Structure 1
Amino acid sequence: MIALTTGSLTEIAVLGAHCDDIAIGMGATLLTLARKHSGLRVRALVLTGAGTVREDEERAALAAFCPNADLRVTVLDLPDGRAPAHWDRIKQALATFRASTEPDLVFAPQRADAHQDHRLLAELVPTEFRDHLVLGYEILKWETDTPTPTVFVPISTEFADEKARLLQKHYPSQVGRDWFDEQSFTGLSRLRGVQCRDRHAEAFVVDKVVVDLGLS
């Protein structure tokens, strides 16, 4: 398997439609990056949940997933499940967020996600982050929309287990869902690990990549 490296990272942007999307999609990757890159700047934007218990959960969770990072979280109050009806506001929010960050790497939902909020955000992110590598994370849920990923980030068993534990700890409002348990999350990361010849991994979808072969 061919491995590519990003080199040193100083700032990343992470975007989610709902509180818990980021942690579900790339929580172990956040743990890995925050532990590897001391002082990493993490700029997060979440479209829904402001002023509710979900915002409190999200802020506590992202702080736990980004230990020792310079973390800034913006949570908006868009209505859950109604993103397409608020296209203009989301587009403006993304433009404002883009002006506040200059990331080395961007993480967002992937375009084929079955949830309309995730899908719209995935479609709009590249319109603001035009010159960035955008990695589309997968959000485990009951829909059968699990993607065929193209990029894998190996993670340790320790971080795979810690991700599952932190999700249970910091999102008590979601624990009652039949799919929201530690076995689901570690099962998916084990599968992605098999697919990249590692114990565990988180997987991403990439629309476009420019590869510098060192020939210029």
Structure 2
Amino acid sequence: MIGLRTASSVTRVAALGAHCDDLPIGAGGSLLTLCSAHPGIRVDALVLSGGGTEREDEERAALAAFCPGADLRLRVLKLPDGRLPARWEEAKAAVEELRAETDPDLIFAPWTGDAHQDHRGLAKLVPTAFRDHLVLGYEIAKWDGDLGRPSVYQPLDAEIAEAKVSLLQRHYPSQRHRSWYDREAFLGLARIRGIECQARYAEAFHVNKLTLRLEN
């Protein structure tokens, strides 16, 4: 497997999610890897729903754990779950406000092929504000069966993969009753993506546009 090493040039990250727990599920292992390797890295996170509820408390504690040593700046808004298309202006304004606050080297966000309307809507908004940025579109397994064929992989050490699952279980007690929210689901997908990139575990992402600078 041929790869490009770019982490040394990443000093700012933006992370966007429609719901509390989207980011850790989709990119938690990558955030752990990146933040552990680069103490002090700035992470600007925006979550569109869950503000003012127990979900926000869960998210703040979880992202602090998933971004160890980072300069984490998190905003959790109060848009209603499942209604992002009807609240397009508010979501658009939030993404543009985030853009005004940071110029990230890397962005984690949902991907445009996600079947959930909130995820998909946010994915479509991101490039309207971050037009010249590398966006890694993360995946979230769900009933809809919308997992695609990602093209970018972040291999995860076994310790990181296990830590991701442990942190998800620890920090989101409100989700434990869900049939899909378990160790087998999270670790199973990581194992499959690991097979695809010749690693034990991995997270996978979708990229619409990527510019190479091979001279650097």
- TM-score class normalised by the smaller sequence: over 0.9
Q: Which residue of 1 aligns with 2:178?
A: 177
1:211 aligns with 2:216: no
Which amino acid is the alignment partner of residue 214 of structure 1?
E
Secondary structure of residue in 1 paired with 2:77: strand
Separation (CA, whole Å) in 2 of partners of 1:214 and 1:57 = 43
Specify the alignment match of 2:6 in structure 1: 6
Aligned residue for 1:166? 167
Q: CA deviation at 1:210?
A: 1.3
Root-mean-square deviation over aligned CA pairs: 1.1
Structure 1 counterpart of 2:52: 51
1:153 aligns with 2:154: yes
In structure 2, what is the equivalent of residue 197 of structure 1? Answer: 198
**Matched positions, count:** 215
Runs (4 or more) in structure 1 with deviation over 4 Å come to none
Q: Report deviation, 1:73.
A: 0.4
- Contact 2:39 2:68 (8 Å CA) reproduced: no
- Cα shift at 1:38: 1.4
**Which residue matches 2:103?**
102
Please give the secondary structure, in 1, of the residue aligned with 2:6.
Answer: coil
C-alpha distance in structure 2 between counterparts of 1:145 and 1:100, whole Å: 32
Question: Does residue 78 of the first structure (1) align with residue 107 of the second (2)?
Answer: no
Q: What residue in structure 2 maps to residue 125 of structure 1?
A: 126
Runs of 5+ in structure 1 lacking a partner?
none
Task: Write the letter of the residue equivalent to 1:5.
Answer: R
Q: What's the CA shift string for 1:6-37, capped at 9, x where partnerless?
A: 24221100000000000000101111001111
Counterpart AA for 1:54: R
Match in the other structure for 1:36? 37
Distance in 1 between residues matched to 2:158 and 2:116, nearest whole Å:
29
Distance across 2 between alignment mates of 1:68 and 1:37: 8
Partner Cα distance (2:15, 2:138) in 1: 10
The percentage of counterpart residues that share the same residue type is: 60
- TM-score by length of structure 2 reads 0.97
Distance in 1 (alpha carbons) for counterparts of 2:96 and 2:26: 23
Whole-Å separation in 1 of the counterparts to 2:7 and 2:37 = 12
Aligned mates of 2:108, 2:27 — CA distance in 1: 8
Amino acid at match of 1:209: L
SS of residue matched to 1:78: coil
